[in-house]
């Protein structure tokens, strides 16, 4: 993939990536390694996102024109007892980034968000224009991520409404990529299922929550492509095509691993579907995690940024096969 479309960038200014060590952060490192524009990756040690001053310091130090924020407080259940910290990292930190970059000529913020901003108000796939919340039905993580989205939009509106002529045609832009069920390098549902399949002779998996598993590698590529494009500011639902339940995903991943040569005894009929109510967790999760991806698909196609839009199945198959390959060779 080529990212040569960064023609609007001042190449003396770096691309700043927060969340270096997360699933998407690691994928961004792989994608950006050959880019000519200097790139700075920050992990928790270089910048604690719970500390506003630390964020301002790195922004002033690096003066980026592009920020990709792949960091977040993602411990969904723990967040129920760490509201303040979740809001500091998921709402305040993106707000500080947005205030900075919105006032940079041609500044760009790419920020990842989640389907957890929706609380089962419908059974069909959500559009970007569908109402979020209701807030009191969202878990704390969902509330904090929603607050982050709103803070970004407000910061950009404020910068643009200030009406500085200097920004005419040089508008800064933001891209909020809402995604779901992310898997990459790091702990995730698919890896957990593959591990448990090797340890147990029966698994019970939730079958009444539906969404789209999304590859961290693909999310990184899309984020970079968008940052280098002329796409319009806004929220985009960034998931591949198709949908599946957690149970269906577990069966698919385990069967794929078995076919690829992983020694798994567990038979598919012993992966039992259960309702979410049989697997209670501290944080409320949506039953309907379906996001409509038409807006992103259209925009990528108009920008000639995608030849073939992916389906979750092909991407999960490739991911599982790679895990099996690595495990067989080690
Ligand atoms: N995972 C999913 O299923 C999912 C679904 C929908 C949306 N998303 C969104 O996608 C984005 C990336 O998710 P991911 O799966 O890549 O997450 P991840 O693997 O949990 O990575 C999050 C990163 O944020 C960093 N971070 C957390 N607190 C920090 C702090 N105080 N200061 C600095 N860095 C901090 C973590 O640092 P450490 O490595 O040091 O802990 C970690 O590297 C997030 O915006 C998330 O909300 C994820």
SS3 295: helix
How high is the pLDDT of residue 4?
45
Q: How are beta strands 214-215 and 66-69 bridged, if at all? A: unpaired
Question: Are the C-beta atoms of 94 and 151 separated by less than 8 Å?
Answer: yes
Ligand 1 atom nearest 20 alpha carbon: 43
SS3 7: coil
C-alpha 70 – ligand 1 centre gap (Å): 6
How high is the pLDDT of residue 305?
72
Ligand 1 atom nearest 48 alpha carbon: 32
pLDDT per position in the chain (330 positions), as tens? 444 456 667 778 899 999 999 999 999 999 998 887 889 999 999 999 999 999 999 999 999 999 999 999 999 999 999 999 999 999 999 999 999 999 998 899 999 999 999 999 999 999 999 999 999 999 999 999 999 999 999 999 998 887 655 554 468 999 999 999 999 998 999 999 999 999 999 999 999 999 999 999 999 999 999 998 989 999 999 999 999 999 999 999 999 999 998 888 899 999 999 999 999 999 999 999 999 999 999 999 988 777 789 999 999 999 999 999 988 787
C-alpha 54 – ligand 1 centre gap (Å): 18
Overall pTM surpassing 0.75 (yes/no): yes
Residue closest via CA to ligand 1's atom 33 equals: 44
Residue closest via CA to ligand 1's atom 39 equals: 21
**Pocket of ligand 1, candidates 77, 180, 182: which has the most ligand atoms within 8 Å of its Cβ, to mutate?**
182
SS3 133: strand
Task: Give how far Cα 250 sits from Cα of 95, 192, 198, 273, 278, Å.
Answer: 36, 9, 13, 10, 17
What values do phi and psi take at 307, rounded to 5? -85, -50
112 lines ligand 1 (CB under 6 A): yes
29 lines ligand 1 (CB under 6 A): no
Tokens at residue 16, please? 């700043």
| CA–CA distance, 316 with 313 (Å, rounded to integer) | 5
C-alpha 20 – ligand 1 centre gap (Å): 9
What's 242-290 look like in SS3? CCEEHHHHHHHHHHHHHHCCCCCCCCHHHEEEECHHHCCCCCCCCCECC
C-alpha 170 – ligand 1 centre gap (Å): 31
50 lines ligand 1 (CB under 6 A): yes
Give the list of residues 6+ apart from residue 238 with CB closer than 8 angstroms, or none.
Answer: 112, 177, 178, 179, 214, 219, 222, 293, 296
Catalytic residue among 3, 126, 141, 236: 141
Question: Are the C-beta atoms of 207 and 273 separated by less than 8 Å?
Answer: yes
How high is the pLDDT of residue 168?
47
**Pocket of ligand 1, candidates 16, 22, 193, 237: which has the most ligand atoms within 8 Å of its Cβ, to mutate?**
22
C-alpha 38 – ligand 1 centre gap (Å): 23
| Bridge partners of residue 173, in order along the sequence | 108
214 lines ligand 1 (CB under 6 A): no
Question: Are the C-beta atoms of 9 and 106 separated by less than 8 Å?
Answer: yes
| CA–CA distance, 100 with 59 (Å, rounded to integer) | 8
C-alpha 110 – ligand 1 centre gap (Å): 14
Residue closest via CA to ligand 1's atom 40 equals: 44
How high is the pLDDT of residue 1?
43
Q: Which domains does the chain show, CATH number per domain?
A: 15-186+214-240+285-310 (3.40.50.720)
**Pocket of ligand 1, candidates 21, 67, 74, 211: which has the most ligand atoms within 8 Å of its Cβ, to mutate?**
74
Please confirm, yes or no, whether 279 is among the known catalytic residues.
no
Strands across the sheet containing 66-69? 39-42, 15-18, 66-69, 108-114, 173-179, 234-237
How high is the pLDDT of residue 162?
74
How many Cβ atoms from other residues are within 10 Å of residue 84's Cβ? 11
């Amino acid at each position: 993939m080529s990212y040569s479309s960064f023609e609007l960038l001042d190449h003396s200014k770096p691309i700043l990536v927060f969340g270096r060590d997360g699933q998407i952060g690691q994928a961004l490192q792989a994608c950006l390694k050959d880019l000519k524009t200097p790139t700075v990756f920050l992990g928790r040690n270089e910048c604690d996102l719970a500390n506003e001053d630390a964020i301002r310091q790195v922004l002033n130090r690096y003066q980026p024109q592009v920020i990709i924020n792949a960091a977040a407080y993602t411990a969904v259940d723990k967040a129920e007892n760490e509201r303040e910290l979740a809001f500091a990292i998921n709402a305040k930190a993106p707000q500080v980034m947005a205030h900075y970059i919105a006032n940079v000529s041609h500044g760009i913020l790419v920020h990842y968000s989640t389907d957890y901003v929706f609380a089962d108000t419908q059974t069909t796939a959500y559009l970007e224009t569908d109402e979020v919340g209701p807030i009191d039905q969202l878990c704390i993580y969902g509330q904090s991520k929603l607050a982050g989205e709103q803070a970004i939009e407000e910061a950009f509106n404020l910068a643009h409404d200030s009406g500085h002529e200097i920004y005419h045609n040089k508008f800064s832009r933001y891209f909020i990529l809402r995604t779901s069920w992310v898997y990459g390098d790091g702990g995730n549902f698919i890896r957990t299922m593959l591990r448990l399949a090797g340890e147990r002779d029966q698994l019970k998996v939730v079958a009444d929550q539906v969404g789209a598993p999304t590859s961290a590698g693909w999310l990184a590529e899309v984020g970079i492509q968008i940052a280098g494009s002329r796409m319009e500011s806004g929220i985009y639902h960034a998931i591949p095509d198709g949908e599946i339940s957690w149970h269906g995903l577990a069966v698919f991943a385990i069967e794929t691993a078995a076919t690829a040569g992983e020694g798994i005894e567990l038979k598919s009929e012993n992966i039992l579907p259960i309702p979410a109510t049989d697997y209670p967790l501290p944080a409320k999760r949506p039953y309907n995690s379906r996001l409509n991806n038409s807006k992103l698909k259209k925009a990528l196609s108009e920008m000639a940024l995608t030849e073939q839009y992916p389906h979750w199945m092909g991407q999960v198959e490739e991911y599982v096969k790679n895990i099996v390959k690595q495990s067989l060779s080690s």
